[in-house]
């Protein structure tokens, strides 16, 4: 019983060297207490038991009433080293002195938030500096924060909640709706561009993280390998002929496979400077890999940014076909692998921009008239659409082709997220034809 109690206490506030002393002290106290108790009369024993029970109840009531914040501070005494806390202070000063920095990190990391969070740590070991490092190293970040593990969204909620509310318009009291891919409503998605005048391709993806594992900053080399192995087993078990294909591990990949994957635009590269600073590229390329089906319309990235990215795509504007394939892939994988979910946030991911549905539905589209207008991006914003270059985040348009997707991932269902992109792009095509 005593060793069990000590093990429970240890992660909270006990140093390793104090465990033996405290265990011995407990044993001595218990031994002499039992001796003294055995010599008492029956009436005295009743008094002792009653008094002891009342004392324990009083301690419990005090602990409950002293509030979450005080409990957290008590339970995290000296769990975060002083040098890490100092780095947090220095990071805050860097942000404050950067006049051209307009990230959500800078906006919401106030001095009071800093002081309350720099001493906190998740059970897996994530600290505030892990969360904010990318935004401090890259002062041109739009967001600037990454989670270390699912619990980080709770331990550092004073920072994450306002960032999430700002980006997703998803407030701290909001709750992500129950998962709903709308399989019975897919007929609402008619081909957006049946004549092929505007849309080059359609792509819908979602992100997932495996239950029980931290995110990139805390993953060890063997964690990457274990995640890859679990995913290989799941992907190789597909029975749906349209989903069946081959897995390619980035470690030891043959030159012929590499050339083909580059030609197909499937091969993801080591992360950019934003992901590098967030420690998303450790042990590269260990544990990373790519799966694609035989038709090359269904793709799974393993340990790229999130543990898993599931992607469905094809040429043209047939949203229904693309979304239907994605749904079947997600459902089949979920039969083999358990994903991390949160009661309030939905699916939890490395970057807070991908929380909730994690759905990003996009088209590569040419809008030669509309895209030259000065208010083009503003129009897209009003339609809850995000505009990127065709090479992904932080890239510019090439040849007048834009990547346009739904911006919102939270506060709506998976079906509604895709529908938001569908309706928005439909409106843009209408405006292009009227321009």
Residue pLDDT, tens place only, 188-217: 999 999 999 999 999 999 999 999 999 999
Question: Looking at 88, 206, 351, 380, which residue is catalytic?
Answer: 351
Q: Do domains 82-168 and 183-434 have the same CATH topology?
A: no
- Residues with Cβ within 8 Å of 300's Cβ and at least 6 positions away in sequence, in order, are 231, 235, 290, 291, 292, 308, 309, 310, 311, 329, 333
| 221, 283 contact by CB (below 8 A) | yes
- Which segment of 59-63, 92-96, 167-171, 176-180 scores lowest on mean pLDDT? 59-63
Q: 3-state DSSP helix/strand/coil percent for the chain, to nearest 5?
A: 50, 15, 40
| 401, 366 contact by CB (below 8 A) | yes
What's the pLDDT tens digit per position in 106-151? 999 999 999 999 999 999 999 999 999 999 999 999 999 999 999 9
pLDDT at 412 over 60: yes
Known active-site residue 205:
yes
CA 308, CA 193: separation in Å to the nearest integer? Answer: 30
pTM: 0.79
Give the mean pLDDT of the chain: 87
Known active-site residue 414:
no
Model pLDDT, residue 27: 62
Angle between helices 414-434 and 319-334 (to 10 degrees): 160
Question: Looking at 87, 122, 203, 205, which residue is catalytic?
Answer: 205
Question: Looking at 203, 208, 288, 360, which residue is catalytic?
Answer: 360
pLDDT (average), residues 329-354? 97
CA 392, CA 349: separation in Å to the nearest integer? Answer: 18
pLDDT at 402 over 60: yes
What 8-state DSSP symbol labels residue 324?
Answer: H
CA 345, CA 357: separation in Å to the nearest integer? Answer: 9
The pLDDT-based confidence of 85 (bands split at 50, 70, 90) is very high
The pLDDT-based confidence of 30 (bands split at 50, 70, 90) is low
Q: What is the dihedral of CA 108, 109, 112, 116, to 10 degrees?
A: 120
Known active-site residue 393:
yes
Residue 239: strand, helix, or coil = coil
Q: 76, exposed or middle or buried, with CB in 10 Å at 0-12, 13-18, 19+?
A: middle
- 183-434 architecture in CATH? 2-Layer Sandwich (3.30)
Question: Looking at 309, 328, 408, 409, which residue is catalytic?
Answer: 309
- Which segment of 35-49, 72-86, 352-366 scores lowest on mean pLDDT? 35-49
Name the token pair of 168.
């997703």
CA 320, CA 181: separation in Å to the nearest integer? Answer: 12
Known active-site residue 239:
no
CA 199, CA 81: separation in Å to the nearest integer? Answer: 53
pLDDT (average), residues 6-14? 40
Known active-site residue 396:
no
Known active-site residue 270:
no
Residue given tokens 């407030």 in the structure block: 171
Highest mean pLDDT among 34-38, 45-49, 372-376 belongs to 372-376
The pLDDT-based confidence of 43 (bands split at 50, 70, 90) is low
Model pLDDT, residue 39: 67
Chain-centre distance of CA 203, in angstroms? 20
Known active-site residue 71:
no
Question: Looking at 19, 151, 388, 432, which residue is catalytic?
Answer: 388
Question: Looking at 127, 228, 304, 305, which residue is catalytic?
Answer: 305
Q: What sign does the dihedral 238-241-242-244 (CA atoms) show?
A: positive
Q: 82-168, superfamily in CATH? A: ATP:guanido phosphotransferase, N-terminal domain (1.10.135.10)
Known active-site residue 220:
no
Domain ranges of the chain: 2-65, 82-168, 183-434
What's the pLDDT tens digit per position in 208-254? 999 999 999 999 999 999 999 999 999 999 999 999 999 999 998 88
The pLDDT-based confidence of 271 (bands split at 50, 70, 90) is confident
Question: Looking at 122, 353, 357, 358, which residue is catalytic?
Answer: 353
Question: Looking at 93, 221, 334, 393, which residue is catalytic?
Answer: 393
| Nearest C-alpha neighbor of 244 from the set 166, 332, 159 | 332
């Amino acid at each position: 019983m005593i060793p069990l109690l000590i093990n429970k206490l240890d992660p909270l506030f006990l140093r390793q060297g104090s465990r033996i002393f405290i265990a011995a002290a407990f044993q001595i106290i218990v031994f002499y207490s039992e001796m003294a108790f055995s010599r008492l009369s029956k009436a005295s024993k009743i008094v002792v038991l009653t008094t002891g029970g009342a004392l324990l109840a009083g301690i419990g009531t005090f602990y409950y009433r002293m509030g979450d914040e005080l409990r957290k501070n008590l339970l995290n005494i000296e769990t975060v080293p002083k040098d890490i806390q100092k780095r947090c202070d220095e990071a805050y000063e860097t942000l404050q002195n950067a006049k051209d920095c307009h990230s959500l990190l800078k906006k919401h990391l106030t001095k009071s938030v800093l002081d309350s969070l720099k001493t906190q740590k998740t059970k897996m070991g994530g600290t505030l500096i892990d969360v904010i490092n990318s935004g401090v190293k890259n002062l041109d970040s739009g967001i600037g924060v990454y989670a270390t593990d699912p619990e980080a969204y709770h331990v550092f909620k004073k920072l994450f909640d306002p960032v999430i509310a700002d980006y997703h318009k998803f407030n701290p009291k909001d709750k992500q709706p129950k998962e709903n891919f709308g399989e019975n409503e897919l007929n609402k998605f008619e081909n957006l561009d049946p004549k092929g005048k505007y849309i080059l391709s359609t792509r819908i993806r979602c992100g997932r993280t495996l239950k029980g594992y931290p995110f990139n900053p805390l993953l060890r080399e063997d964690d990457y390998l274990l995640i890859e192995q679990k995913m290989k087993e799941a992907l190789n078990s597909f029975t749906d002929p349209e989903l069946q294909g081959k897995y390619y591990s980035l470690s030891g990949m043959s030159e012929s496979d590499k050339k083909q994957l580059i030609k197909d635009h499937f091969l993801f590269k080591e992360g950019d400077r934003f992901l590098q600073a967030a420690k998303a590229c450790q042990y590269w390329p260990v544990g990373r890999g790519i799966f694609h089906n035989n038709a090359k319309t269904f793709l799974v990235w393993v340990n790229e940014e999130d543990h898993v990215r599931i992607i469905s795509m094809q040429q043209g504007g047939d949203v229904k076909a693309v979304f239907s394939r994605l749904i079947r892939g997600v459902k089949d994988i979920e039969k083999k692998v358990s994903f991390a979910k949160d009661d309030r946030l939905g699916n939890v991911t490395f970057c807070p921009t991908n929380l909730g549905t994690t759905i990003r539905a996009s088209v590569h589209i040419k809008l030669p008239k509309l895209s030259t207008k000065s208010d083009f991006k503003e129009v897209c914003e009003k339609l809850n659409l995000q505009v990127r270059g065709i090479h992904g985040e932080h890239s510019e348009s090439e040849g007048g082709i834009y990547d346009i997707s739904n911006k919102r991932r939270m506060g709506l269902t998976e079906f509604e997220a895709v529908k938001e992109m569908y309706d928005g792009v439909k409106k843009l095509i209408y405006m292009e034809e009227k321009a």
